């Protein structure tokens, strides 16, 4: 890629440093330059000039995926952090990726990094299951009697004869349970926090912008709670409630995925029986369980 100046690469480097626990800016600069196809940061610097034609459309999602994975490997950062940093800096494309494009990227990362090729009886394979008079999709967690699945809306079970693995691999997806807001907390300072169906924080929204929140935080000073589903009903991942939640994200220009989606690999580990278990595993793997002034660690989740 060619850049008219170093604004976007520098911004990406800053986001990546913030996502780390000790990386130096110079180290990030060098890794970033190599991931973009340059020998080093100096070559990127001298190649960028005002008359260069930046690729407004940027690379396709497959090429973007490789850049994200290269950066994650070079810097030792979680894939989700790198995807977020690259997106926020508009590094690979002047226009932001949509939520749907982010989900394609994240699901592709899981397939490459976590699940591997799908197969009959293999955890992480997308299967069909009987749902009323039709068939719906889910991830296979554990085969057996009953068969444990991860639906779009969370954990569940089906009889083994109700689950089928098609010969042609089904498309991967990001479950609504880990990215779609369920409601909003109004804080006493006037700010808002979007939370998931499991009441785990996702986004903190202020006039200055948005902030991704660690799902293991317990938010303090909540003045009011409201839900996108009317009356807080169970119908939250489809219909009007889903439309309202997505519209809220679009209103606040949130197209990236929350940190809660990073628990996905842990949901297929032994002895993980809830999303809260996945959050605890994620927190333990990160080692960055600090809390900002407006929150504290959620002992119920981390216990």
pLDDT (tens digit, 0 to 9) for every residue of the chain, 303 residues total? 788 889 999 999 999 999 888 899 999 999 999 999 999 999 998 887 665 544 445 668 899 999 999 999 999 999 999 999 999 999 998 888 999 999 999 999 999 999 999 999 999 999 999 876 667 999 999 999 999 999 999 999 999 999 999 999 999 999 999 999 999 999 999 999 999 999 999 999 998 899 999 999 999 999 999 999 876 566 899 999 999 999 999 999 999 999 999 999 999 999 999 999 999 999 999 876 678 889 998 988 887
Decide if 68 contacts 12 (C-beta within 8 A): no
> How confident is the model at residue 134, as a pLDDT?
65
Helices (H) and strands (E) in the chain, counts: 9, 12
* pLDDT value of residue 51: 53
Query: Would you state the pLDDT for residue 55?
Result: 45
Distance CA 191, CA 109 (A): 33
Q: Return the residue matching tokens 């793997």.
A: 285
Q: How many CB atoms lie within 10 A of CB 5?
A: 13
Q: How many CA atoms lie within 13 A of 136 on its CB side?
A: 13
Nearest residue to 40 via CA among 51, 29, 53, 54 = 29
* Torsion 138-202-113-92 (CA) sign: positive
Could you tell me the end-to-end alpha-carbon distance of the chain, in angstroms, rounded to an integer? 46
Helix extents (H) in the chain: 7-18, 25-35, 41-47, 61-75, 79-88, 99-110, 239-251, 275-286, 299-302
**Cα 252 to the center of its chain, rounded Å:** 17
């Amino acid at each position: 890629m060619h850049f008219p100046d170093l604004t976007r690469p520098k911004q990406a480097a800053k986001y990546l440093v913030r996502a780390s626990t000790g990386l130096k800016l110079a180290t990030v600069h060098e890794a970033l330059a190599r991931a973009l196809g340059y020998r080093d940061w100096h070559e990127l610097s001298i190649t960028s000039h005002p008359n260069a034609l930046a690729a407004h459309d940027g690379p396709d999602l497959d090429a973007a995926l490789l850049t994200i994975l290269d950066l994650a490997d070079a810097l030792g950062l979680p894939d989700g952090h790198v995807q977020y940093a690259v997106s926020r800096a508009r590094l690979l494309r002047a226009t932001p990726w949509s939520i749907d494009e982010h989900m394609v990227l994240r699901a592709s990362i899981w397939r490459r990094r976590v699940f591997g090729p799908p197969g009959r009886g293999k955890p992480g394979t997308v299967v069909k299951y009987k749902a009323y008079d039709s068939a719906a999709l889910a991830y296979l967690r554990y085969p057996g009697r009953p068969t444990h699945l991860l639906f779009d809306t969370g954990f569940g079970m089906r009889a083994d004869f109700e689950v089928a693995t098609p010969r042609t691999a089904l498309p991967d997806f990001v479950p609504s349970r880990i990215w779609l807001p369920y409601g909003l907390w109004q804080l006493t300072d006037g700010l808002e926090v979007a939370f998931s169906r499991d009441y785990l924080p996702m986004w903190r929204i202020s006039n200055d912008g948005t902030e991704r929140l660690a799902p293991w935080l317990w938010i303090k000073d909540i003045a009011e709670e409201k839900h996108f589903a009317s009356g807080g009903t169970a119908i939250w991942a489809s219909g009007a409630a889903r439309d309202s939640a997505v519209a809220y994200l679009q209103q606040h220009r949130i197209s990236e995925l929350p940190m809660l989606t990073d628990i996905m690999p842990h949901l297929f580990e032994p002895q993980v029986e809830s999303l809260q278990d996945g959050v605890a595993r994620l927190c333990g793997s990160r080692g960055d369980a600090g809390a900002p002034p407006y929150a504290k660690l959620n002992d119920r989740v981390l216990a």
